[in-house]
């Protein structure tokens, strides 16, 4: 139990502003209800949402710059639903941490990376569409997201940290809520992960239909 509490406390103190020193020196701008940085590839990373709407549509551009990353953007915000546009490829650690009212998130097909504790303690989160192009899930992405109904992991997933699918805190094993269905593809990295951690799973619908 002490180990579990230590994990939760450590993750809760992950600050989305804890970035590399050279990144801190980059100018921070404000516009369209966000603070943001301009990256070397002339795309934007959104740092903080400044609006007061609980139903948020993230912009695909601010000015002439396309949005490609979310980094701590909604940390501790009282949002209920969030739609993330095509073109976003990266959601960093802590981006939705402690969004305790969050119920649904629409992710883009372009998303490749979900960072550590990205949705930690989003206890009301029920619906999230993990896209078919997602490649990486770091540790504790959905820790304490106890209302999740389904997680679909497609063959594109090629890296999952050891505790990527820990939802229910447990020092001995990876655990999902009994009400959450895990769906994977035959022979995929995600299926091997499920087997290695003794997680119950089902095949994705198109594979079930072909059998």
The tens place of each residue's pLDDT in the chain, 211 residues long, gives 444 445 555 555 555 554 444 445 679 999 999 999 999 999 999 999 999 999 999 999 999 999 999 999 999 999 999 999 999 999 999 999 999 999 999 999 999 999 999 999 999 999 999 999 999 999 999 999 999 999 999 999 999 999 999 999 988 899 999 999 999 999 999 999 999 999 999 999 876 544 4
What pLDDT is recorded for position 167?
97
> CA-CA distance, 42 to 69, in Å (whole number)?
12
What pLDDT is recorded for position 171?
85
The residue with tokens 């998303």 is: 111
User: Cα 51 vs. chain centroid, distance in angstroms?
Assistant: 21
> CA-CA distance, 194 to 157, in Å (whole number)?
13
CB count within 10 Å of CB 63 equals: 11
CB 102 within 8 A of CB 82: yes
Three-state secondary structure call for residue 10 = helix
Which tokens is 75 given?
């940390």
Cα 47-53-59 angle, rounded to 5 deg: 50
The residue count for the chain: 211
Cα 4-20-61 angle, rounded to 5 deg: 100
CB 203 within 8 A of CB 183: yes
Which tokens is 83 given?
């739609």
Rg (CA), the chain: 17
184-210 burial, b at 16+ Cβ within 10 Å, e below that, comes to bbeebbbbebbeebebebebbeeeeee
Element (H, E) at 90: strand 90-91
What pLDDT is recorded for position 116?
98
What pLDDT is recorded for position 25?
60
Pairing type for strands 29-31 and 34-38 reads antiparallel
> CA-CA distance, 192 to 208, in Å (whole number)?
18
What pLDDT is recorded for position 134?
98
């Amino acid at each position: 139990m002490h180990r579990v509490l230590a994990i939760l406390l450590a993750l809760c103190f992950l600050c989305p502003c804890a970035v590399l020193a050279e990144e801190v020196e980059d100018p921070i701008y404000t516009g369209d209800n966000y603070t943001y940085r301009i990256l070397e590839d002339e795309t934007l990373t959104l740092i903080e949402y400044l609006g007061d709407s609980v139903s948020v549509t993230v912009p695909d551009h601010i000015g002439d710059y396309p949005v490609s990353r979310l980094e701590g953007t909604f940390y501790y915000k009282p949002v209920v639903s969030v739609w993330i546009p095509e073109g976003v490829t990266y959601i960093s650690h802590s981006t939705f941490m402690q969004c305790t009212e969050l119920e649904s998130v629409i992710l883009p097909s372009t998303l490749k990376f979900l960072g550590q504790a990205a949705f930690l303690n989003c206890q009301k989160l029920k619906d999230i569409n993990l896209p078919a192009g997602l490649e990486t899930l770091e540790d504790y992405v959905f820790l304490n997201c106890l209302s999740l109904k389904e997680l679909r992991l497609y063959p594109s997933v090629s890296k999952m940290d050891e505790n990527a699918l820990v939802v229910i805190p447990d020092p001995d094993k990876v655990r999902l809520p009994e009400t959450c269905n895990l769906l994977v593809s035959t022979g995929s990295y995600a299926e091997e992960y499920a087997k290695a951690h003794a997680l119950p799973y089902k095949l994705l619908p198109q594979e079930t239909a072909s059998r």
